[in-house]
Structure 1
Amino acid sequence: MPLINSLTLIFYIMKNLFIKLILTINLLLIYNCKAQTSNDYVTFYNDVVPKLNTIVPNKTQFYGQNFSNFYSELQNKNVSIVMLNYDSKNELSREYYVLRLFFAPINMWSFAINNSYRFPIVDITFENEIPSQIEQIASQAEMKWNYNLVQFFSTMKIEKIEFIGMNGYNSQDRSLK
């Protein structure tokens, strides 16, 4: 009988050690994944923002110009647009004038949001209203930037450009450039 109790005790201890080992390994894996994602986002941010910041001092040269000129400048700087959104000039209007460009890879969005990291964003206000077809075109593209959207906006004249989230990925400074 004492042998059975000893074996039961050994089995119980081994089972507990095994469970603790599995939990520890899982926690380490989760921690390492989070660290990798953090490093990936910081690397992305520190790559794209300096490129965008080179455009900031000269942004007024694009005012009154076609969007295609600004888009070419982004391409020359090797800055890729990932997603878009569109908005009105003010909350009371239903007319769209603002094109919002996002550069962060989609797989990093939830991590950046959960950690209150800043997204580099460019808001482009056009002189004329964005045609209502934008709703259908953007919806078909699932709000992902593509060649059809480049063509759609190419001849629209830029009124104003604002750079957002350019003061550091974890900065509290939310001023626009």
Structure 2
Amino acid sequence: MIILIFLVNNMKSLFLKTILVLNLIFIYNCKAQTANDYIAFYNDVVPKLNTIVSNKTQFYGQNFSNFYNELQNKNINIAIIGYDTKDDIDPKLYVLKLYFNTVSMWGVASDNSFWFPSVNIYFENEIPAQIIDMVRQYQGQWNLVFEQFFANRKIEKIKFISINGYNSSDKTVK
């Protein structure tokens, strides 16, 4: 019996040590995002966005799916979304905010006072209020549900934000 207890205790100890070592290896291999990583991300995404800026009016009056397909064709991935009103007076939601940086990049960008490239899509018709619960449910992470939800909504206008350099003082919205 004593031998069995010894074996069980050693197995538990070995199991716990193995788990600890695996966790340490995992943590060691998951390096934190750095300012250089963010700059590389920004310098990859923004030139692609700039290729769309000059042609953005071709998407006005079109379904969001057309604009989304253009983003996909240029290998621009939406990471996070938000929503907004057209102005401070009207509480109705018309604006879809697209962000391309991942959650792990937000901290790096904020810590270094870097800009977040984003696109605001203004829709012709109000976005249903269910978007609030959907964003909460999926924690703002872009997915197929959002893609389908916005697919047939008509775009009124598009604004590109913070695409003049990750640390530029030029705040021009295009």
Superposition TM-score, scaled by structure 2 size: 0.80
Rounded to whole Å, the distance in 2 between the matches of 1:112 and 1:75 is: 24
Shift of 1:106: 1.2
Q: Alignment partner of 1:113: what SS?
A: helix
Q: Name the counterpart of 2:27.
A: none
Whether the aligned pair in 1 keeps the contact of 2:35 and 2:112 (CA below 8 Å) is no
Give yes or no for the alignment of 1:154 onto 2:151.
yes
Q: Name the counterpart of 1:126.
A: 123
Correspondence list, 1:22-171, <5 A = 37-171=34-168
Q: Alignment partner of 1:122: what SS?
A: strand
Q: Alignment partner of 1:101: what SS?
A: strand
Instruction: Determine what percentage of the aligned residue pairs are the same residue.
Output: 58
What residue identity is the alignment partner of 2:67?
Answer: F
Q: Name the counterpart of 2:26.
A: none
Structure number with larger C-alpha Rg: 1
Q: What is the RMSD of the two structures over their aligned residues, measured on CA atoms? A: 1.2
Shift of 1:159: 0.3
Q: Name the counterpart of 1:7.
A: none
Correspondence list, 1:4-15, <5 A = none
Number of residue pairs aligned between Structure 1 and Structure 2: 144
In the TM superposition, structure 1's runs of 4+ consecutive aligned residues that sit over 4 Å from their partners are none
Rounded to whole Å, the distance in 2 between the matches of 1:103 and 1:86 is: 15
Q: Alignment partner of 1:138: what SS?
A: helix
Q: Name the counterpart of 2:20.
A: none
Whether the aligned pair in 1 keeps the contact of 2:161 and 2:172 (CA below 8 Å) is yes
Residue-by-residue CA offset, 1:108-138 (whole Å, 9 max, x unaligned)? 1111112110110000000000011111111
Name stretches of at least 5 consecutive residues in structure 1 with no aligned partner: 1-32
